[in-house]
Each structure stands twice: as C-alpha cells, then as structure tokens.
Structure 1
Amino acid sequence: MNNSGADSYPEPQITSEKLDFTTKLAFGAGDLGTAISAMILISYLSPFLTDVAGLNPQLAGTTRLVGSVWDAVNDPMVGVLSDRTSSQQGRRYPWMIWGAVPFGLFFLLQWIVPPFASNGDGNQWSLFWYYTIISILFNTFYTIVNLPYTALTAELTQDYNERTSLNSFRFAFSIGGSIFAILVALGVSLVIPQNLNQQYLVLGAICAIVSVVPLYLCVWGTKKRFFAVTKIHPETEASVSLPFLEQLKITFTNRPFLFVVGIYLCSWLSVQLTAGIIPYFVVSWMRLPQWHVSTVLLAVQGTAMSMLFVWSAISRRVGKKAVYYMGMSLWIIAQSGLFFLQPNQVGLMYVLAFMAGFGVSTAYLVPWSMLPDVIELDELQTGQRREGIFYSLMVFLQKICLGIAVNLVLQRLGAAGYIKPTAGFPPPIQPNSVLDVIRISIGPLPAIALIIGIFLAYFYPITREMHAEILLKLKERKEKLEN
C-alpha cells in the first residue's frame, strides 16, 4: 500500500468538533476484529489448552501468563514508537495497515494442535513452547494494530461528549464482535458436536478471516477526518521528543490518570476473569452441555451492547461517574449471586447474566471516555500530545494483572486436582476443591474488584467543567503561540 498521505484529500471544511455518523461508524469498525479475537481467547483458550491440546493446567496457566506479560511489555514500546512515527500516513495508520494480516495469521495458529501432541505426557514441554511462542507472536501483532487504533480516539475530536459518543460506536462494534464470536462458537459446537479439536480449528479460521478486514475499513473511513483535524490541531501529530523514562515519570505523576487506570483495572479484571472461568463454571458446576457456555456469554454481551447508547445518553445528563455507579451496582449483585447459584437454578443463572451485562456495558464505555480528558490535562502540563504512552500504559497494567489472575486460577485448578474430560464421555465430576476454586473465581473475586472500582471513581477529579477549562487554556496557549 503506497503512502498517499494527507495531500490526497481536499482542504478540510471542518467547523465543529462534532463527528459525522460515517466517521463514527468507520472508527467503531476498527475494534471489531480485535474484539472477536479477544473474546475467543478469553473465553475458550484455557479450556482448549487443558481439554483439547492436553496441557496440564499449571503449564496452560504459565503459557497464558507469558503471553499476557509480553503483550503488556510491548504496549509501551509500540505506544512510544507510534508517538514518534513520522509518515505521510500519520502516526497511527502505518502500524494498522502492515500489522493486520500477521495479526490474523497468528491468531489462527493458536488453535492448531501440533502432531507431537498425541505422543503422551512427555511432550508437555514441546506443547508449552509451541503455544507460548505463537502467543508471543500473536500478542505482538495484536498490539501493533490495536494500540495505534485506540490512540486515534483523542485525535479525531476534542469534544468532551463527542468522545463518549465515539466510544459508544467503538464498543458497540467491540461487543458486536464479541457476540459474533460467541454465535460462531455456538454454531460450530452444534454443527460439529463430537469433535472438539475440529470445533476450535474451524472457530479459529472463521474468526481470523473476519478479524482482518475491519481494520482496513477503519483506516479508509477515518483518514479524511483525521487529516482534516491535523490541519486545525497540528499539535495532535507533533512527534514526541521527551525521553522514554521521563515520559514514564510524568505519566505516573498524573493523578487523574492513576484513577482511570485503577477504575479500568478493577472493571476489566472482573470482565475477563469471569469470561475465563465461565466455561468451567457452566460445565463443571452447573453440569450443563457445552453450548450453554456460548449462550451465557451471549446474554452478557447482548445486554451490554443494547445498553451502550442508553448509558451514553444518560452520561450526557448525569455525567460519567454516575453512570459508572449505576452499572457497577447491578454488576456486583450479579457476581455475588453467581457464587450462591445452585446447579438446578439454570433460569436464575441467565437472569444474573443479563444483570451483569448492564455493568459490563459501563466497563466498556466509561474508563475509555475518561482517558482522552486525562491526555489533554497532560498536554496542558507538558506541552506535548502523548496519546500513545497513556493508552499503552493503561493496557500494559491491565494485561499484567489479567495474566497473573488467569494464571493463578489455572494453577489453583491444577493444584486442586482438576480432571481433564475424556472425548466421547460425559464431563467428569470434579472434586469439591476444584468446584470451590471455580465458584470463588466467578463470585467474590470479581465483586471485590468492582467495589474497589466504585471507590476510585468517586475520587476521580476531572469533571465536565474542569475539562472545559483545560480546553480553554489549551486554546489560549495556542493563540499566543500563533501570535
């Protein structure tokens, strides 16, 4: 793809920070592919590794931890490099363009069971290294396409409410991608009911193909707006000159950023820990067929998607923090209820899944709409636009915590005596020690994290009025420099 650059577009005619529907739609599409892959990995990779590939839970937990740690480590690297990128395509687009195809390829390779897997327990370490290396490569390209994409949020508009609206579109596609992934998983499990190996391979192939195309649609659909904004706000494309260590120091002294990170970590730890343990909860505790895993996830994600624009509209009236309180309260009740749920209460399980969806929706929407406001405060303080470092550090910390949490759960399942299912036979009755690990991981642990998140949101300092004041000061400084 050649570097046609900004000059291929006519002079911009933007007189408002408001975004048109087409731009919002194209931007939202950029999160579709990564959401599909993330949902499949969160919900299905652990049982694939333990029940299909044959890794013992401890090694499966370790390979997931290594992948998550590397995924976290490469975030600041790509963030800083994208901040410093100088290209006719802008700072972010080259990464998305060249990373999309390898991103899809390495996602697919995670669902292949290599030939040496059938040679018995002696190949545990060979399997471990295969899945660990593929995970490292996949996570590298996941970051290469996803981090520059997320940094575009602050570069398409500076309007406080428009950013919430923009994130509504983004997460509508994100949740839509999750729902699509779950529907594909459900369909594959019904069409190929007896062969788990084939199920996961077909699922991986379909999702890999579908995940690549939306990234190019996003680039194509937002470029015109992006280059128009850089004409009006050239500071958004200015290359960052601060040394990396100094950037880190400044970033971690930004108090509102630390609150946003805490809110995000608490809510997303709950999302991903719950999604990761649901397959074990549904099959081992509730004693339900495998397809119920997909329908439970569908209930959560479907509710979350339907509520996104409702929460966005409410946010315009009462603010981001109030919306967060409402969603989290319902979610805490749902997570607590799952701990006390009994195997015969299938209907109640779905009611709790729908309730959780209300809170999951705010977990998607609120922290990411807060972060651009933090970036403008940093610009006021440092004189430089540093979207990449903020987005990368936020995701870095989230991935580290998630990797540790998933690893600990799998380690505890293995230590408690988890029994691997045998193909062609009903799921085994797990010992009480394993069931206790599953129930604690789906109930008390996420609920405690959500309560901490509410506490942090209460002290988050940037209000709508404070953000308006930040933008006014930035505008005044820009006018002085121009004069």
Structure 2
Amino acid sequence: MTHDLKRVPTRTAAAYGAGQLGAQIFRDTPAVLLPIFMTTILGIPPWLSGVVILIPKLWVIVCDPLVGVFSDRKKETWGRTRFLTIGAILTSVGFASLFAFVDYPGPYAAAGAICLLFLVASTAFSLYSVPYLAVASELSDDTHERTRILTFRMVATIGGVVIGVGVAQPLVFALGGGATGWHVMGYSFAVVCLISMLIPAIFLRGVPLLKSAQGPTGMLGQLGSVTSNKPFMILLATTFIQGIGMASSYTAIGFFYVYALNMVQIIPTFVIVMAFGSLIGQPIFLHLSRRFGKERCYVVGSALWMLVTTTWFFVEPQSPVVVTLPLIGDLTREGLLVLARGLFIGVVNTGFLLLSFSMLTDTVDLHRRRHGSANEGVFSGIFSAAEKLAFALGPLVAGIIMSSFGFVSSTHGVVEQSEHAVLGVIMLYSVVPVVTQLLSLLVFSRYRLNPEEISTGSVNWQDAARLEPSPGLER
C-alpha cells in the first residue's frame, strides 16, 4: 500500500530559493572581483592574491563539515533557521569589510588583512550555506519534487550571478574604478545579501522537514557514513574537479573582457542574456530529467557546455560593427557571438548545475532509506566544503598561470599587458575549464544510483515512521 506525498507549496519553495541570491553574490563576487581588487588597487601580485583566497578556503574544509555535524545535532532543538539568521548577518558584514579598506602600508600587509577578513567572512558563510543546503534534502522525499524545489534556488542563483558578476564590475568602473567605486559596491551588495539570506530564515520557520528514524551518531560515525555512500563520493569528486576549472575561469572573467575582448561594457548584457538562457533551460532539464533520467541529462548538458566554452579561445576583438541595438549601441560580430554564447551557456549550464544538486539530495535520500538517519548537515557540509575548496584552488591556479604568462599587477587600475599575458587569460577562460570538465565526466561515468532505492512520489507505509516530518525548521 502506498501513500502519495503532498506537493511542497510554491511559497515554501520560493522562500527557500530566495536565500540563494545573497549566497550566490557572496560566492561569486569575491571569486571574480577580489583578484582584480587586490592586483589593481592594492598592488598584490597575482600569485599572492591566489594564496590569499586559498587559505580561508582551506579552513572551510574543516569548518563546513563541523557546522554540518553541529546543525544535525541541533536540528530538533534549535532548528535550521537559527543558523541561517546568524550566518546571514555575519556574512553580510564580512562581505562589506572585504572592499571597505584600501590604505594598507604595503601589498603584503594588504594581503594579510584581506586574507584574515575573508577567513572570518567565509566562516560566517559556512554557518549559513551548510544548513541552507541541508534543507533541500529535508523538504520532500520525492526525487522529482526536490528537483522542482531546486529550480527556485537556481532562479535565485541566476539573479546572484547577474548582480554579483554582471553588475559588480561595471558598477565599480562607472564610479571611476577607484576606492569609492569599490566601497559603494561592497556596501550596497552587502545589503542585498542580508535581505535575501534572511528570507528563508524568516519565512521557513515552522515548515515541516523529513525526520530520520535514528538520531545522529558520534561525529566520526557521521563522517564515516558519508564516505561509505559511493554515489555521493563519485558526485563529490565530479563537482570538485569541475569547480576548479570554473573557478579559474571566474577569476579570469574581468581580465578576459578587459584584455582579450576589450568589451567590458558588454558584461551586463552578456550576463542578462545568459540568465535568460538559464530561465529557459530549467523547465527543459526538469522535463528531460523526468523522462530520460538525471544522469544522462547531466552528461549531455556538460558536453554541450564544453563545446561552446572551447570557442572562447578563438575570439576576435577587432571584428567589424554589424548592428546597432537600443541600450547597447554598436555591436561587433564578435560581440554578437559573445551574446550567442551567453544564451547557449545559460541553457546548458543550468542543466548540469541544477541536476548536480538534485543528485546530491538523491544520495542523501539513499542514505536515509538504507540507514534510517540522513545526516543531511554532514553531507551538505562536506559537499559545500569541497565546492568552496575548488573555488579557492581556481584563483590560485589562475594566479599562477597569469604570473607565469607575465601578467603585471598595479596599484592604479588597469594597465597594458603583453600579448603573452593576454594569452594566459584566454586559456583560463577556455582551455582550463574544458579540460577539468572532461576529467570530471570521466569520474562521473562511475556514478550508479538504483532508481528503486530513491522515492519517486510514493512511500511504503512501513517506512512512514522514518519519513515522519520533524516539527519544522525551528521549534
């Protein structure tokens, strides 16, 4: 006998997804702009700027799983929302502090200060991001319903990318590219982060979550249970490898549009077009994943993304003007190709990113059904730590490559670079992410998850006890 589970209300899914807007800004803006801020305003060498970002990310490898263990233990008494509230406030303050100071005694003092500020801000973000990700596995026990919930998160992700990547750098440049521009961007974005990240903390109070039949075991037992989940470990390795390449290209975005394309003014339009493509891609991949399976759609989306990313290596910044568009102005042939790439990348990128998080919830659900306890916080903490580590290694890889190709840092904004230095930037935006994506798919080829071991909309009455909703996000 089966019992059909109730669909998660749209308002609940929307409230959950809204928190990702601010989280994505914190995730993306430092990854994209901190290297530029450090190399063009603070005079920090590119290789050292990579180290500055790496050290705090190494810390979160420890911090995220610990937050996951602690939040699992406090789930029944504190709820998840207390973590979300504290994390949202401290993360926003930390973000503002990163770009609030420029008057350091020298580049090495500046590097030390930024490293310390970023470490504190990253710790605060762990308090938010780990419990937040855990909630995605606790709102429903249906695999396709969780994908639907995560589409709201992806919409907010798109908004975060538009603001954090598409608006941030042009805003700084519009304000003169100096200290004032960086200060205004930092303070205003911190406010956006705070409002967005508080939405799930406030509006998800009392929302019922799935309850495990068994309470969390000791910390070593919780961590050991994760490593025994082979589908999770394969997915973890896959996304980690991907993340290194993507973070390398994220680091190079600002440099790529300034030096390789000489089209910094097109960044907002490019990001908006990419966001539009992402909105189109979500219902497509949601439908296709139901019909053909998440794994197949994930591979197809990744392969198509590699195909279009390869073309960035062949850009032609001196191409002729072919059209004049309202609000954009003159657009060259290469400019049109940039926007076409953005649309295509948006469609396929949302596919494999959405499905990677959806498959994460499947692996957590698998553990719940096999062992009676889900340990959502621990799974989310380890997954989050790996993602953050990858996005720390990316800037380090980018800094090493840029330095090896002769990129010159400065303390007074953008300066001219050699052709060899520009080639290094182009490789970071094209070759490096394609190679890492290909390697990740080789790892993912070993991913196996029996569809019979995850729920697709119904649950046996014998399992009712272990799937009984908990009192909510907060008691």
- TM-score bin (small chain): 0.7 to 0.9
Q: Check the 8 A contact 1:44/1:276 in 2, yes or no.
A: yes
Confirm whether residue 419 of structure 1 aligns to residue 396 of structure 2.
Answer: no
Matched AA of 1:339: F
Change (3 A) 1:380 1:279: same
Mapped contact 2:247–2:392 kept (Cα < 8 A): no
TM score, norm. by length of structure 2:
0.87
1:302 is displaced (CA, Å) by: 3.6
Counterparts of 1:150-165 in structure 2, within 5 Å, are 150-165=133-148
Partner of residue 160, structure 2: 177
Is the contact made by 1:22 and 1:221 (CA closer than 8 Å) also made in structure 2? no
- Could you list the per-position Cα deviations for residues 19-75 of structure 1 after superposition, in whole angstroms to 9, with x for gaps in the alignment? 111111111112121112222112211111111122111221110111221233211
Shift of 1:179: 1.4
CA distance in structure 2 between the partners assigned to 1:199 and 1:466 by the alignment: 53
Amino acid at match of 2:97: L
Is 1:222–2:204 an aligned residue pair?
A: yes
* CA distance, structure 2, for counterparts of residue 199 and residue 357 of structure 1: 29
Which residue is equivalent to 2:72?
83
**After superposition, where does 1:326-475 map in structure 2 within 5 Å?**
326-344=300-318, 345-420=334-409, 423=412, 427-468=414-455
1:273 partner amino acid: S
CA contact (8 A) 1:376 1:471 kept: no
Matched position secondary structure for 1:178:
helix
1:42·1:272 contact (CA, 8 Å) conserved in 2?
yes
Compared with structure 1, are the counterparts of its residues 39 and 305 closer, same or farther at alpha carbon in structure 2 (3 Å cutoff)? farther
Deviation per residue, 1:171-200 (Å, 9 max, x gap): 1112112213345426624642x2332222
CA distance in 2, matches of 1:385, 1:316: 24
Structure with higher helix content: 1
Structure 1 residues 300 and 270: CA distance shift in structure 2, 3 A? farther
- Of 311-320 and 160-169, more deviation after overlay is shown by 311-320
- SS of residue matched to 1:155: coil
Counterpart contact for 2:244–2:393, Cα < 8 Å:
no
d(CA) in 1 for partners of 2:169, 2:177: 14
Instruction: Give the secondary structure class of the aligned counterpart of 1:418.
Output: coil
The match for 1:107 is 95
Matched letter for residue 147 of structure 1: V
| 2:462 corresponds to | 476
Q: In terms of mean alpha carbon deviation, does 463-472 or 332-341 score higher?
A: 463-472
CA contact (8 A) 1:17 1:158 kept: no
What fraction of aligned residue pairs are identical, expressed as a percent? 21
Counterpart CA distance in 1 for 2:293 and 2:107 is 51
Contact preservation (8 Å) 2:241, 2:436: yes
Q: Which of 178-187 and 245-254 deviates more? A: 178-187
2: CA distance, partners of 1:125 / 1:462: 49
Q: Does 1:263 align with 2:251?
A: no
Letter of the structure 1 residue corresponding to residue 419 of structure 2: N
Shift of 1:108: 0.2
Tell me, which stretches of 5 or more residues in structure 1 are unaligned? 1-13
- Within 5 A, what are the aligned runs for 1:193-272? 194-226=176-208, 229=209, 233-235=210-212, 239-241=215-217, 243-272=218-247
User: Is the 2:21–2:156 Cα contact (8 Å) retained in structure 1?
Assistant: yes
Q: Distance in 1 between matches of 2:277 and 2:195?
A: 26
Match for residue 124 of structure 1 among 107, 111, 129 = 107
Deviates more, 1:333-342 or 1:463-472: 463-472
CA–CA separation in structure 2 for the residues paired with 1:435 and 1:113: 29
One-letter identity of the residue aligned with 1:208: A
Kindly provide the CA deviation profile for residues 199-218 of structure 1, in whole angstroms up to 9, marking residues without a partner as x.
22111111100111223221
Displacement after TM superposition at 1:480 (Å) = 10
The question of whether the paired residues in 1 share the 8 Å contact of 2:305 and 2:345 is answered with yes
Is the 2:33–2:169 Cα contact (8 Å) retained in structure 1? no
Q: Shift of the alpha carbon at 1:306?
A: 3.4
Tell me if structure 2 keeps the 8 A contact 1:189–1:291: no
- 2:150 equivalent in structure 1: 167
Aligned positions, number: 451
Inter-CA distance 471–391: structure 2 relative to 1 (3 Å threshold)? farther
1:97 deviation in Å?
Answer: 1.6
Counterpart of 1:30, as a letter, is G
Distance of 1:146 and 1:105 partners within structure 2: 16
Distance 1:323 1:415 in 2: 38
Would you say the 8 A contact 2:60–2:123 is kept in 1? Answer: yes
Partner residue of 1:10?
none
Equivalent position to 1:43, from 16, 23, 32 = 32
Q: Which residue of 1 aligns with 2:254?
A: 279
1:405-439 residue CA offsets vs partner (Å, 9 max, x unmatched): 31121123223321235748xx5442233223212
Q: Which residue of 1 aligns with 2:471?
A: none
SS, match of residue 207 in structure 2: helix
Q: Is the 8 A contact 2:251 2:398 kept in 1?
A: no
Contact map agreement 2:246 2:394 (CA 8 A) in 1: no
Task: Report how far residue 470 of structure 1 moved.
Answer: 12
Measured in 2, the distance between the counterparts of 1:71 and 1:316 equals 35
Identify the residue that residue 309 of structure 1 maps to in structure 2.
Answer: 283
Does the residue aligned with 2:409 lie in a helix, a strand or coil?
coil
CA contact 1:278–1:442 (8 Å) conserved in 2:
yes
CA distance 1:350–1:266, shift in 2 (3 Å): farther
| Partner residue, 1:8 | none
Contact 1:110 1:134 in 2 (8 A): yes
Letter in 2 for 1:454: L
433-442 or 385-394, larger mean C-alpha shift: 433-442
AA at the equivalent of 2:10:
F
1:472 to partner: Cα distance: 5.1
- Contact (CA 8 Å) 2:402, 2:421: kept in 1 or not? yes
Gaps of 5+ in 2: 319-333, 469-475
Residues 61 and 407 in structure 1, CA contact (< 8 A), matched pair in contact too: yes
In structure 2, do the counterparts of structure 1 residues 322 and 469 end up closer, same or farther at CA, with 3 Å as the change threshold? closer
